[in-house]
Amino acid sequence: MYKISNLKENKEMSSLNKINYPAFSKHQVEVFIKRDDLIHPIISGNKWRKLKYNLKAAKEMGKTQILSFGGAYSNHIHALAYAGKINNLDAIGIIRGEPHYRNNFTLTWATHWGMTLEFVDRKTYKLRHNEEYLAQLQLQYPDAYIIPEGGSNHLALPGVGEVITELNEQLEYDYLLTPVGSGGTLAGLINADNNQHNLLGIAVLKQDGYLADEVNLLLAAQASNLDNWKILNQFHRGGYGKYKTADAQRILQFSQQTGIPFEPVYSGKMLLAFLDLLEQGYFQAGAKIVLLHTGGLQGLGGMAERGLLNADEWPVPERAPNC
């Protein structure tokens, strides 16, 4: 079992727990997990961090709606729906795919919390960063504060940066690992870390380097001075959402031994990458390493529903009541 370390307790912060695991003592490293998945029961992990200042901005601008984009099983859409509900903002989700997805695990919850869903085909969805399309949406929804897919914009950075502020109070460490999807989380960490630690982003999808460009774009002017980070591209295990049975078994086995829940799309891929790097001798003896748990456990619901994993083995959350 993992132990709660005797680190500074602060209810405002997500907890930092030391993990005891045989491979860690074998390689003489100390490993900690920053439990951002526990920040909020629904708006978990990096969603909480990325939305925090976006929601504030929406309210300050007097907006009454929040609108964003996502796939039919999106963690971001799930979190945004609930964030809208508790912030008195009407949430609108522009969803890639056909309306029958409305009944899936993620979107049933989104509807339950009051989100309005608008389904668009793949061609239209591709326009989600296009200025003209966004201007047209803004005309259609004049009271909406528009947040990009995944919540990754410049206002996501200060929210994510608070992970670094908290960690600086919790522990002296050498490495921080995070999964990378769109790059917003890593960009926020880099920005706040200001070259203090080694930041390793684990790409969860196949790509040829565009993620580093995305991160640099979000960092804008500061990017050139900040060189303490890397995106590792060799741990995607076949692409976004893909993994082998053996990968899933390794994640489950780690969860069972440590008591920490993971899912195989983001946090689980980061975990496997970390275990592989450890075996390859990437970390020097004595290194203190922090894994950032970015949440996303709601995704297990949709995966179980599609028969992609066994609901008896994984911590699959409850379905929304039918509405």
Contact residues for ligand PLP, defined by CB under 6 A: 45-46, 75-76, 150, 152, 179-186, 266, 294-296
Question: Closest distance between ligand PLP and the C-beta of residue 230, in Å?
Answer: 14
Minimum CB distance to ligand PLP smaller for 30 or for 179: 179
Task: Please enumerate, as own/partner, the contacts of 17-22 that have beta carbons within 8 Å and a separation of 24 or more.
Answer: 17/260, 19/258, 19/260, 19/291, 20/258, 21/254, 21/257, 21/258
Minimum CB distance to ligand PLP smaller for 30 or for 47: 47
E strands in 113-262: 116-120, 144-146, 175-180, 198-203, 229-232
Question: Closest distance between ligand PLP and the C-beta of residue 126, in Å?
Answer: 18
Token pair for 12: 């405002």
The residues with which 116 forms a beta bridge, in sequence order, are: 92
Question: Closest distance between ligand PLP and the C-beta of residue 63, in Å?
Answer: 22
Minimum CB distance to ligand PLP smaller for 97 or for 150: 150
Question: Closest distance between ligand PLP and the C-beta of residue 214, in Å?
Answer: 8
DSSP, collapsed to helix, strand or coil, labels residue 203 as strand
Token pair for 29: 């490293």
Minimum CB distance to ligand PLP smaller for 84 or for 201: 201
Q: Of all helices (H) and strands (E), which one includes residue 34?
A: strand 30-34
Q: Which residue is nearest to ligand PLP (CB)?
A: 296
Minimum CB distance to ligand PLP smaller for 30 or for 43: 43
R_g of the chain, CA atoms, integer Å: 19
Question: Closest distance between ligand PLP and the C-beta of residue 150, in Å?
Answer: 4
